[in-house]
Amino acid sequence: MRFSYAILGMVGFALTDTAFAALLQPMLDGGFVERDETAIWFVPVAIIVLFFIRGAAGYASTYYMAWIGWAVIKQLRSEVFAKYLTLPTAFYDEASSGELISRITFNSQKVANAASTALTVFVRDTLTSIGLLALMFWHSWQLSLCFLIIGPIIGIIVGRVSKQFRKASRNIQESMGEVSHVIQEAIDGSRVVKIFGGQAGEQERFEGANESNRRFNMRETRIRALNVPIIQFLIAIALAIIVFVASGGLLGEDRLSPGQFMSFIGAMLLLFAPMRRLTSLNSQIQQGIAAGESLFETLDLESETDTGTKEVQAPVTSLEFRNVSMAYRPDKPAVLNNVNLQVKVGETVALVGESGSGKTSLISLLPRMYNHDSGDILINNVPVQDYTLASLRGAISYVSQDVVLFNDTILNNIAYGSRETLDRHTIQAACKAAHAADFIEGLDQGYDTMVGENGIMLSGGQRQRVAIARALLKNAPILILDEATSALDNESERKVQQGLDTLMEGRTTLVVAHRLSTIENADRIVVMKLGQIVESGTHAELMANDSFYSKLHSLQFS
Ligand SMILES: Nc1ncnc2c1ncn2[C@@H]1O[C@H](COP(=O)(O)OP(=O)(O)O)[C@@H](O)[C@H]1O
Ligand SMILES: [Mg+2]
């Protein structure tokens, strides 16, 4: 419906252009030459009516095309965003977030705009051109042929000029980038510049960038300043030729009246703008297609596989990794090799090992952040991929070293994902257990304090305790802690550890620890090296031997 309004508007707009050019004839011949009474009244009224229609039609086509365009943009954005939420973790590892953001914000807009502009230009300007050309031929086919020969030549020259113009603009942008780059380096590196005496060199570098920026700007100005006079001059030549042909008696019997001639010239002048837009239509469409390609590629990406149908049944009694191997990409070496690990209900198993030994990789397989390549990961003797993702992940709580907080209140951060179903008291109880209640209640707005972007208003230890409260609230049977206290100083680590101890009670826990002091009490310690489990036992057992663990231990405590 709206689409037909838009098209109707375009048609109306196109018709009025032609009608206006046609109107020039009765205006001059009737109104001025013959002083015909009807023409004297008819023409002014017609002008007003025409421009009223033109305005209404222009409004309708612009408004309704924009309406459709924005509806499409909104739809595209929602679909791409929805896709983002379901993509596998590996996708985010490789993509740049800036690029992903601009796909939603910028590309979607570009596609829809290109499409609606292209359509508008195509319908409106094609119709306008046809109407005007028809009018011209109706007045005089000989003059029209003249125009058809001269017109394209002008078009080609104008095209050349605008190409130069675009090139110049691009050069300016690049050289401006270079200028800021030099400035930024000089400011950021000011100490190095001073100590190593780089002032002269920096000045020279800046001089170069500064000068080329000036030159590119002047080139653009020259093209811009030449652009209008050149086009006008070319039109003047065309006009001169046509005036000569029309008035020089070359047309013989087909000579035009003054009104017809003005109407012809009017149509010709009105024709330039739509013609120019039609010739740039292709590049518009190309831009839209380019922007659309990456959007539709995104929409075509494979979502996380979620083909399991089972639900994790309440009590979780066992957890097992059986011969598990995994590589992040098929062309990369495996980061986990035949890992075997059994965890009993309520047990706390600590994973230790050098950085890069595969601890994080191993635990991220459990909630299927990544998929393992071979072997089995079993919860209650059922492979994890047989569970629905929602149920599997619902059974697992997770606290990592870098806590993610949303720019929202503390309350909403803690209750993230379950805000609707929880009352304030439950949330406060979780905070008490996480040893977070004291500091939260000390804040000006308590639980309603906004934490700022990524929790910037909170200290590391406070953020960590908010994350623990969130994990507590989830009350999941399986708990994963990945270096949850590594980034903290001793004092906040002590507080966070108290919170963690509460959290671990009665849960099956996998804990990755950097500081070995924090896991001495674990039921079992598993040592990883190069993607394999090399030792396992209690702290006392492992310390008794000349084990890898005891070496790690003495390294940390010497
Ligand atoms: N997202 C990833 N993509 C590709 N390779 C990764 C990724 N994460 C970790 N790795 C690689 O896997 C290996 C094990 O890393 P990780 O499991 O993080 O070790 P740890 O947690 O023990 O320090 C390392 O060689 C690391 O470079
Ligand atoms: Mg890690």
Does 463 lie in the same domain as 348? yes
- Residues with beta carbon < 5 A to ion ligand 2? 360
Q: Give the count of beta carbons closer than 10 Å to the beta carbon of residue 69.
A: 21
For the stretch 375-385, pLDDT in tens is: 999 999 999 99
Coil, strand, or helix at residue 142?
A: helix
CATH of the domain at 289: 1.20.1560.10
**Residue 418 confidence (pLDDT) above 80:** no
The lowest-confidence range among 214-223, 272-281, 372-381, 443-452 is: 272-281
Query: How far is the centre of ligand 1, averaged over its atoms, from the C-alpha of 306 (Å)?
Result: 24
Does 400 lie in the same domain as 539? yes
Band of pLDDT at residue 38, cut at 50, 70 and 90:
confident
Does 424 lie in the same domain as 339? yes
Q: What is the pLDDT of residue 241?
A: 86
Residue 179 lies in a domain: no
Band of pLDDT at residue 461, cut at 50, 70 and 90:
confident
Task: Report angle CA 297, 299, 300 to the nearest 5 degrees.
Answer: 65
pTM above 0.85, yes or no: no
Atom of ligand 1 nearest to the CA of 362: 17
Residue 62 lies in a domain: yes
**Residue 557 confidence (pLDDT) above 80:** no
* Distance, CA of 430 to CA of 428 (rounded, Å): 5
Residue 551 lies in a domain: yes
Q: Which of 300, 333, 359 is the last residue of a domain?
A: 300
Task: Compute the average pLDDT of residues 289-294.
Answer: 86
CATH of the domain at 458: 3.40.50.300
Query: How far is the centre of ligand 1, averaged over its atoms, from the C-alpha of 344 (Å)?
Result: 26
Does 402 lie in the same domain as 336? yes
Residue 96 lies in a domain: yes
| Residue nearest atom 5 in ligand 1 by C-alpha distance | 328
* Distance, CA of 53 to CA of 472 (rounded, Å): 67
* Distance, CA of 368 to CA of 391 (rounded, Å): 12
Does 383 lie in the same domain as 263? no
Q: What is the mean pLDDT of the chain?
A: 89
Number of structural domains, the chain?
2
Q: Give the count of beta carbons closer than 10 Å to the beta carbon of residue 294.
A: 15
Does 271 lie in the same domain as 352? no
C-beta of residue 548 within 8 angstroms of C-beta of residue 555: no
Q: Give the count of beta carbons closer than 10 Å to the beta carbon of residue 252.
A: 7
Written as six digits, the tokens of 21 are 């050019």
Q: Where are the beta strands (DSSP E) in 237-373?
A: 318-326, 336-344, 348-352
Please provide residue 457's backbone torsions phi and psi, each rounded to the nearest 5 degrees.
Answer: -80, -10
- For 382: left if phi > 0, alpha if psi spans -120 to 50, otherwise beta; the answer is beta
Coil, strand, or helix at residue 175?
A: helix
Does 351 lie in the same domain as 276? no
Residue 91 lies in a domain: yes
**Residue 525 confidence (pLDDT) above 80:** yes
**Residue 253 confidence (pLDDT) above 80:** no
Does 324 lie in the same domain as 268? no
**Residue 420 confidence (pLDDT) above 80:** no
Task: Name the nearest CA neighbour of 65 among 142, 17, 4.
Answer: 4
Q: What is the pLDDT of residue 506?
A: 84
CA 216 → CA 168, 219, 231, distances in Å? Answer: 6, 5, 22
Does 458 lie in the same domain as 373? yes
Mutational pocket test of ligand 1: of 337, 354, 361, the residue with most ligand atoms within 8 Å of the beta carbon: 361
Could you list the residue range(s) of the whole structural domain that residue 512 is in?
Answer: 318-557
Written as six digits, the tokens of 455 are 């929790």
Q: Which of 247, 274, 300 is the last residue of a domain?
A: 300
Does 325 lie in the same domain as 294? no
C-beta of residue 470 within 8 angstroms of C-beta of residue 413: yes
* Residue written as token pair 């070293």: 401
C-beta of residue 393 within 8 angstroms of C-beta of residue 412: no
Determine if ligand 1 sits within 6 Å of the CB of residue 356: yes
Q: Which residues pair with 532 in a beta bridge?
A: 529
